[in-house]
Structure 1
Amino acid sequence: MNSLDELSSASVLRFGPYAFHLRQRLILEGDRQLRMGGRALDILQVLVERAGRVVSKEQLIALVWPNSVVEEINLRVHIAALRRALGDGENGQRYIVNVPQCGYSFVAPVQGDSVAQVVFESLQVPQHNLPARLTPVTGRDSLVGGLVRQLPLSRLITVTGPAGVGKSTVALRAAELLLQHFRDGVWQVDLSLIDKDIPLLDHLLKTLDIDFPTLSARHALLVLDNCEHLHEACRSLLQNLLDAAPRLSILATCREPLRLGLEVLQPLPPLTTPKTSALNSVDEVMGYSAVQLFVSRARARQHGFHLREQDLETVRDICRRLDGLPLAIELAAAQIDALALVGLQSQLDHGLQVLSHGRRTAVPRHQSMCAALDWSYQRLSKQEQRVLQRLSVFKMAFTLDAAIGVISCAQLPPSMLVSVVEQLAAKSLLTTDRSSGTLRYRMLNTTRRYARERLEQGGELNDVERRHARYQGRTRPASSGRLTAQFVEQ
């Protein structure tokens, strides 16, 4: 085996049946060219030039992504792709091994060749129009990894969830990690920027700068973001694409399912928040992704910020009241230098105003929590808007019977109310829970505050609250004063 200096100066590195042509940035197996993305080749070059040595994960990331913030999952995905491309493990041949707690090592014999080589056509770095990511993605490694594994096998995956939960962030992160897999690139189309009068297919073809017959032959990934904006038009477009383009994969984000035959749903839950029983130490609380995000964004805003034991209950309460929603947590953490922790906690008592100062560079619907909720609310029917407002009097989970008992009226008879509640749940404005055997609905705190403000503006708050109080009185056992199972604390 050659020394590190000799391998670093070689123009071709040979191992097994492969020849890695460094200047041409390609790998040949005989005369067959292996397809790999630029990052995968960078990782392979670092490992092959240090064959027989263990390279730590931190060192690999620093060498391959010197100017970027990258999570370990990115490295793992590229390593897995390299192993598949090289047939690592097939017929007993091993190339890259994971050394637990240490890193990776290239274990096959490597020979360096400095003789001038024939210049081959180099591999193309996959094309894309994905936006640059400025901050790490917190708490989503497992879910992103699942999408990365599923997408090459599934034609259509839809990431669903409520406003501010991070659907676009997760979809774009998965798309980044799949750049090397799709020969014809990865392309994002943000449907929130498209006017309803513009034909969707025309806009898509213009974005990709191709015609439809060319698109149907492409091996590419389309990221269709914010499909709720043009729900019916999206369903029609996607059905046509799935029928006409067999090598096309589609990753969609939407606040409700698209209801297509090949659709695989990926609901996106909020980040995890600690329970009161988990407030034993800073290390324990930092194991929850909502706290991790809050602390990282607070540090970016206030130099020297660190979580202390006396802060644990306050930070837990802030994250819980923000429902573990990444957008809400980021907006709240942006106020840390002006309000400090206790002030921020206090301001949450006054509604969503504290969540109204976001990044100026963000799209309008992400500049405040109200704007994000407006995006959903404005797409509801008048009946759905009214039901959402009236349901905001429930501070705890409720059954359908409770909803009928409290908010039904001449304009909202029970038969209609059942259907509208189901529609609101499908659109991620209500969450559902069947853990007790009975279907219960609940509104996130941020959504409830938004809807309650709308109810108050409409002049119905006092009336609906009185009905809610009377209903509670009828369902409360006289002996204990406790609520029945129709009401469950959040």
Structure 2
Amino acid sequence: MNSLNDLSSASVLRFGPYAFHLRQRLILEGDRQLRMGGRALDILQVLVERAGRVVSKERLIALVWPTSVVEEINLRVHIAALRRALGDGENGQRYIINVPQCGYSFVAPVQGDSVPQVAFETLQAPQHNLPARLTPVTGRDSLIGGLVRQLPLSRLMTITGPAGVGKTTVALRAAELLLQHFADGVWLVDFSQIDSSTPLLEHVLRTLDTDFTTLTACHALLVLDNCEHLREACRGLLEKLLGAAPRLSVLATSRQALQVGLENVQQLPPLAIPKSTALNSVEEVMSHSAVQLFVSRARARQQGFSLREQDLKAVRDICRRLDGLPLAIELAAAKIDALAIVGVQAQLDNCLQLLSHGRRTAVSRHQSMKAALDWSYGRLSDAERQVLQRLSVFKMAFTLDAAIGVISCARLPASTLVALVEQLADKSLLSVERRGAVLRYRMLNTTRRYACEQLAHSGELNDFERRHARYIDRTRWASGVQLAV
């Protein structure tokens, strides 16, 4: 694992007729100062200090905008401004070239006043194995900015949340923005394809192509993705790594907290959905991140797509019934060209079939909402599956008393049921709402429909729907008696 060498100590970089004074942050052409914005100067410095080498677009964005989510178009605008200011291409002199599918390179000879030119050629880019990001990240700017600020100070951060909420997406974007901070790189280790029989430390070292001694001396960030099914093994791995490697930080994703010393947990909520009273204008609705994502992905599928006032209620309904989950919204928006907005809305009663096909380039658990839920469901105990299925008869938030009143039985006594409900909440299959002193649990609509299908397959659906209806009737009757008294 190679570390990033320190940047050159040269105070003035010279190329063509220009002198770039780094400390004063100005560029002179003879005695004339070139006027450039701060971001353009940052980009130029990154490229000039790596003269002759290709710098990826992702790397440029991570260095120049370390705490912001920025689209590639911003980078292209600044590159174009730089070229104009330098007269790039005039009189046959080229400074910045675009290397298709790779990035940008500064191609003019560069000299530094206080170091020999060879120093520029020995610089190395930060090491990483992060995948290329195919689409922008929507609605997570504040949360990602918080992660970027906290991670250099925190040894272990775990992002938790339900299936499809975007844990991996957020972790990878934060990792991109931290590339410049960790001298020995940012490394993704995916645990989704391995089981408990695989030694985790061996898997990590193989992914990084290094040995344990080298790793313990590194200033690096490890992104451990999909830890939920290996919690015990992950705890052992993290205790060993964090104890032996004082400059190592870890960003983990898991559907439940790992419960390791030093762990800070960041729960990832669904995207923001407009309230039913906030449908007054397109601009107002578009201020909500769930709608922003839906429109962005719809435009990618249907050229010329735009949100109209007559669409606001339907789009809000789509985002609400898909729980504000990014994966579900993306999959629904992908059907726009075939079904249009009204067609997508009409299919929501059969949402798991509607959300059955996503990007073929995505990992299997991200290709459909059902696959994402299969991943969670397949890792539950038999008792947890049984409780999840039976709780699917609750279409609204419910208390523990209600759960006990509807689904407990001789084989599932109240004490056992309470523990199982708490376990399902810990695994992000139930969300928890506190109203005063009362705790309520709620199942996301997509999860409820999935669990309801499993309950139907078990043959118990009609029985528990009747039990739920009887419980509701008894509760209403008791409330009526109390009111009368």
Partner of 1:386: 386
Q: Give the letter aligned to residue 116 of structure 2.
A: V
Q: Give the letter aligned to residue 458 of structure 1.
A: S
Q: CA deviation at 1:340?
A: 0.7
Partner of 1:77: 66
Are 2:37 and 1:55 equivalent residues in the alignment? yes
- Mapping for residues 321-470 of structure 1, pairs under 5 Å: 321-470=321-470
Give the superposed CA RMSD: 3.2
Once the two structures are superposed, residues 149-171 of structure 1 have per-residue CA deviations (whole angstroms, 9 ceiling, x without a partner) of 00000000000000000000000
Q: Give the letter aligned to residue 203 of structure 2.
A: H
Are 2:20 and 1:13 equivalent residues in the alignment? yes
Q: Is the 8 A contact 2:392 2:449 kept in 1?
A: yes
Q: Give the letter aligned to residue 219 of structure 2.
A: H
Partner of 2:303: 303
**In structure 1, distance between residues paired with 2:321 and 2:59:** 30
Q: Counterpart of 2:441 in 1: which secondary structure?
A: strand
Q: Is the 8 A contact 2:67 2:148 kept in 1?
A: no
Pick which of 401-410 and 56-65 moved more.
56-65
Partner of 2:154: 154
Partner of 1:98: none
TM-score (norm 1): 0.79
C-alpha distance 136-68 of structure 1, shift in aligned 2 (>3 A)? farther
**In structure 1, distance between residues paired with 2:448 and 2:145:** 32
Once the two structures are superposed, residues 323-377 of structure 1 have per-residue CA deviations (whole angstroms, 9 ceiling, x without a partner) of 0000000111111111111111111112410000111111111111011000000
Q: Counterpart of 2:165 in 1: which secondary structure?
A: coil
TM-score (norm 2): 0.80
Q: Is the 8 A contact 2:161 2:269 kept in 1?
A: yes
Q: Counterpart of 2:331 in 1: which secondary structure?
A: helix
Structure 1, unmatched stretches of 5+, are 1-5, 21-43, 80-111, 484-490
**In structure 1, distance between residues paired with 2:476 and 2:274:** 30
C-alpha distance 234-457 of structure 1, shift in aligned 2 (>3 A)? same
C-alpha distance 245-59 of structure 1, shift in aligned 2 (>3 A)? closer
Are 2:157 and 1:125 equivalent residues in the alignment? no
- Mapping for residues 189-228 of structure 1, pairs under 5 Å: 189-228=189-228
Partner of 2:86: none
Q: CA deviation at 1:477?
A: 5.0
Partner of 2:182: 182
**In structure 1, distance between residues paired with 2:359 and 2:218:** 36
Are 2:271 and 1:246 equivalent residues in the alignment? no
Once the two structures are superposed, residues 200-240 of structure 1 have per-residue CA deviations (whole angstroms, 9 ceiling, x without a partner) of 11111111111111111110000000001312111110111
Q: Is the 8 A contact 2:62 2:176 kept in 1?
A: no
Q: Is the 8 A contact 2:15 2:111 kept in 1?
A: no
Q: Give the letter aligned to residue 377 of structure 1.
A: Y
Q: Give the letter aligned to residue 403 of structure 1.
A: A
Q: How many residues align?
A: 419
Q: Is the 8 A contact 1:319 1:329 kept in 2?
A: yes
**In structure 2, distance between residues paired with 1:345 and 1:52:** 55
Q: Counterpart of 1:192 in 2: which secondary structure?
A: coil
**In structure 2, distance between residues paired with 1:50 and 1:451:** 70
C-alpha distance 224-113 of structure 1, shift in aligned 2 (>3 A)? closer
Q: Is the 8 A contact 1:12 1:114 kept in 2?
A: no
Q: Counterpart of 2:210 in 1: which secondary structure?
A: coil
Are 2:215 and 1:233 equivalent residues in the alignment? no
Q: Is the 8 A contact 1:12 1:113 kept in 2?
A: no
**In structure 2, distance between residues paired with 1:61 and 1:164:** 35
**In structure 2, distance between residues paired with 1:363 and 1:353:** 19
**In structure 2, distance between residues paired with 1:50 and 1:394:** 73
What percentage of residue pairs aligned between the two structures are identical? 68
Q: Counterpart of 1:152 in 2: which secondary structure?
A: helix
